[in-house]
Amino acid sequence: MFDYTQHCGNKANFFTEEKLQTVIDYMEKLDSIKIPEGYCKGIDINHTQAYDWFLENVLDPLRKYTNREDLRLIFGFLGDVTQSFRIHTDVKTIPEKEYNPNGKQYASFLIPVSVDNDPHRCNTNSTMVFDLQVLDEPAEEQPWHHLVEGTNPLVEKKELGWIDHRRYTLLKNIQWGRGDLIWWNSLYWHCGLDNNAIGAETKQMLVIHTYV
């Protein structure tokens, strides 16, 4: 059950394999955009035909799941990343701000597709969501510094590059599953496991940023 007061969560098998593949096949036809972390194929209000399709096929199921009929799209994309996104928040420019002066950031959603283009490797990755407050002093040790289920047990902890996260307190480490839904409050810090930590070259995912 979706509970926004918990700031993050997940739902297994949100999309069936058939539904997920239909979404992937459609978005694969879009133009590819280079980003520092790899490539993405995105949809926003400027993509008239694709935008309407995305609302019906992706946003409407999210509206039903969250019980928020007022959920609106900032943008969504199909990503293929060679480098994990560093810890960040999802403060985005809200479209049509002049028509919706009270619009505010709401939730971000991620649907895992594959790791190294292999659907069976999805569970080697996870998304970590951290508390909103950043610590004034770095914590030398936190339980989440250690290897967690889903990471590569052969990788030394010192190689994971998590030292930058010592000022953050983990709320939840959510393991990937193809077609699952992972969500978080867009204002909260989050990131994925480092590609090197899980022995992966690329990760594929569907990401949706929303406002209300």
Task: Express each pLDDT in 72-112 by its tens digit.
Answer: 999 999 999 998 887 889 988 888 765 676 789 999 999 99
Interatomic CA distance for residues 9 and 97, integer angstroms: 28
pLDDT band at residue 64 under the 50/70/90 scheme: very high
Which residues fall within 8 angstroms of residue 156, CB to CB, at 6 or more apart? none
Q: What per-residue confidence (pLDDT) applies to 194?
A: 80
pLDDT digit string, tens, across residues 7-40: 999 999 999 999 999 999 999 999 888 888 889 9
pLDDT tens-digit map of 193-204: 888 878 899 999
Provide the percentage of residues in the chain whose pLDDT is more than 90. 61
Q: What per-residue confidence (pLDDT) applies to 165?
A: 67
Model confidence at 212, in pLDDT bands (50, 70, 90)? very high
Residue 146 pLDDT grade (very low, low, confident, very high; cuts 50, 70, 90) = very low
- Average pLDDT along the chain: 85
Predicted confidence (pLDDT) at residue 156 exceeds the cutoff of 50: no
In which order are the strands placed within the sheet that holds 203-211?
8-11, 181-185, 105-115, 203-211, 72-81, 38-43, 33-35
Q: Please give the model's pTM, rounded to 2 decimal places.
A: 0.86
Output the pLDDT for position 166.
67
Whether residue 155 has pLDDT greater than 80: no
- For the chain, the maximum distance between any two Cα atoms, rounded to a whole number of angstroms, is 52
Asked if residue 181 lies in contact with residue 59, where contact means CB atoms within 8 angstroms, the answer is no
